[in-house]
Amino acid sequence: MRFLPQRPLPHTLRWFGKALYIALLVVASVFIMINVHEIGHTVFARLLGDSSASYALYRLHPDGSIRCIGCNAYNPHRLSFFGNVIVPLGGVIFSQGLALALLWYKRKIKGGAPCGRVCAVLTVVCVSDAAFQVAQGLAANIGQQTGLTGVDIADFIWLVAGRAHIGHALLKAALAAALLVYLGWFIKTYRKPPIPA
């Protein structure tokens, strides 16, 4: 029996396949990052005094629709002032911990193989969490805030500014500068060749 010669896929079909693969990787990476982020809040809440803090992969409304993906719940009244300052940062601490672990893996193992593109996309998504969280804090109207809102960096700024009597604008500028330094360092380090074995 003669086999037909294999023909390469048309360029458009190959491009579509790659785009679909990347899109699925991004969706999976966002799902992983959100859950790591929310687990971070729960872990810090438990460590800092709220033994009732909980995490769920998802929660549903009574009608069956999705209420949240990667859900954490904790009681700020069970935490000290320090706990309430740290728990909002717990999510970004965990997501950046994963990003730094992936960076170490890429640098230690030539080209990040065998993880390759999967690790690269997950790394970008995790690092983007830091930028997203700080951007939310910078956009928040802290002057109008009267309590914890669940917006991580906004709550951090509100608590610290109130206790330390530091202006919101100064704290926002410091966080923006810290983010730029961190992202610059991360990108520079990510682009370096792997560490020789």
Over residues 5-15, the pLDDT tens digits come to 566 656 676 77
Show me where the domains of the chain are located. 20-39+81-191
Tell me what pLDDT residue 4 has. 57
**Confidence (pTM):** 0.85
Tokens linked to 86:
């740290």
User: What are 147's two structure tokens?
Assistant: 């309590």
Could you report the per-residue pLDDT of 128-147, keeping only the tens digit for each?
999 999 999 999 999 899 99
Q: What is the pLDDT of residue 86?
A: 96
Least confident of 47-51, 68-72, 149-153, 176-180: 68-72
Instruction: Give 76-80 contacts, CB < 8 A, sequence gap 24+.
Output: 76/148, 78/49, 78/50, 78/51, 78/52, 79/45, 79/48, 79/49, 79/50, 80/48, 80/49
Instruction: Kindly give the residue spans of alpha helices, DSSP state H, lying in the chain.
Output: 11-47, 81-108, 116-139, 152-164, 168-191
CB 175 within 8 A of CB 138: yes
- Classified as helix, coil or strand, 101 is helix
Residue 189's H or E segment, with its range, is: helix 168-191
Tokens read off for 178: 């810290």
Is residue 3's pLDDT more than 70? no
CA atoms within 13 A on the CB side of 187: 7
3-state secondary structure of 60: strand
Q: Which tens digits make up the pLDDT trace of 13-72? A: 677 778 888 899 999 999 999 999 999 999 999 999 999 999 988 888 888 888 887 788
Q: Across residues 162-174, what is the average pLDDT?
A: 93
